[in-house]
Structure 1
Amino acid sequence: MTQALVSILDDEPAIRTMLADALEEAGFRTMSFGRATEFEAALKTHTPDVCLVDLSLPDKDGLTLVHRLALEQGATVIIISGRAQVQDRVTGLELGADDYVTKPFDPAEVVARIRARLRRDRPVAQTGNCARFNGWTACFDSYTLMDETGEQTPFSHAEGEVLRLFLERPKRLVSRAVMQETLGGAAGESFDRAMDVRISRLRTKLREDPKNPRLIKTVYGAGYIFLGDVDWS
């Protein structure tokens, strides 16, 4: 089995070395970069499974980069940052990051979080990677939604996690507790807000009426129900 590739983007050489050593000892392949421009150039020839991204970069805004990665790459995106404010965490998750680790950290914790994310990202054994529902096709290999005319709309890795959760549980209540347990992350206001943002974006991409959505229904005080008929392939 090919070892997962982790790209590390941090302007501190000591951080890059510490993470690379811990990850390679744990069996991962790594690539390390000190500047966003070098990191982005490498993406043209390499497709990492996980991107570790520092927010304080010398040449580009880290949050903008995280947002682009979430939209265009299939990789898991984990922010590593010295910014410990709750709002920074919320913003990072809203922009598409899958996890947020604050400095200083134990590299063993980062390794454990990466392993946990990759386990969650594996397809369920009995489920394919494309699902058809109500005139839509969601493909989780390419991170795209396709309508009946063939028009494609990309969705982020974070949005895909939520969509897949709904499509695997059609016409069943998905509570906030189930979402937190399945998708990971600390329960609380920041998690709830991140989920609300992802669901709002999914509704927009599915061309739902925000005041009366047909597919993703909110059950106030309980969670959500996906009302479509789903066929996996």
Structure 2
Amino acid sequence: MTDTPLIAILDDEPEIRRLLSSALEEAGFRTVSFARATEFEAALRRIQPDACLIDLGLPDRDGLALVHRLASESGAAIIIISGRAQVQDRVTGLELGADDYIIKPFDPAEVVARIRARLRKPQRETGPGRQQIRFAGWSADFDRYTLTSPEGAETPISHAEAEVLRLFLDNPRRLISRAQMLETLGGTAGESFDRAMDVRISRLRTKLGEDPKNPRLIKTIYGAGYIFLAELG
């Protein structure tokens, strides 16, 4: 078994697939490419990519629906690569669970850099013996991307949700500002980043069984940021 990250590329344009595969393999990644969503989804039963590059303009499936499903069911980092340049398209993609959004035409070096940034953070933050963290009766498994409730019920979390939760668990009972989230998690400052963070935190609260009007664990400090109030261990 190799530790070299595997990147899945889903794009119906052969030249885009060749360009991305070449750049990523030169950078030391393994790649696997697909022209259709049906082929990609079938392959996911056999492989577990570390990151997925998803084009939204697919011939056989709505790209945003696929991104949403991947974010709910997969621990892979999800990066949209699309010719749709409108702010609302970027916001929607991030709200549905994508970790990043790259607009075509793109510089292959930028794609490589963004993938490295997305994959580097979990490796740095999750040291030996820290793949599983317990808090307030819950258990977060950052190797399997799951949350286990005090009653033993297991719920999958996306790569994006795991990044936010890990940031909270690394900084319990400390104010985390939007600027800190941007610096730690990466992204581009602005409305799309802020809305994406709001959606990820809302999903985490739902999965943690929080009362949206009076959450116990993830408190919003309006105008300042968030505080995670759980004791670890």
What TM-score, normalized to structure 2?
0.96
Partner of 2:5: 4
Kindly tell me: are residues 47 and 146 of structure 1, through their superposed partners in 2, closer, same or farther at Cα, counting changes over 3 Å?
Answer: same
1:30 equivalenced with 2:31 (yes/no): yes
In 2: Cα distance, 1:208 partner to 1:151 partner:
15
Root mean square deviation, CA, Å: 1.2
Off by >3 Å, runs of 4+ in structure 1:
none
Per-residue deviation, 1:121: 2.2
In 2: Cα distance, 1:122 partner to 1:23 partner:
19
Deviations 1:174-220 (A, max 9, x none): 11110000001111111111111111111111111111111111111
Partner of 1:161: 163
Partner of 2:122: 121
Per-residue deviation, 1:126: 6.3
Per-residue deviation, 1:2: 2.7
Deviations 1:99-135 (A, max 9, x none): 1000000111111111111111214236601111111
In 2: Cα distance, 1:123 partner to 1:25 partner:
23
In 1: Cα distance, 2:143 partner to 2:188 partner:
27
Partner of 2:172: 170
**SS at 1:90's partner residue?**
helix
Contact 1:123 1:129 in 2 (8 A): no
1:147 equivalenced with 2:173 (yes/no): no
Letter in 2 for 1:173: L
Contact 2:72 2:157 in 1 (8 A): yes
**SS at 1:225's partner residue?**
strand
**SS at 1:230's partner residue?**
coil
Per-residue deviation, 1:53: 0.5
Letter in 1 for 2:174: R
Q: Percent identity?
A: 72
Letter in 2 for 1:222: A
In 1: Cα distance, 2:135 partner to 2:206 partner:
16
- The number of aligned residues is 231
Letter in 1 for 2:106: F
Contact 1:134 1:229 in 2 (8 A): yes
Partner of 2:203: 201
In 2: Cα distance, 1:193 partner to 1:214 partner:
22
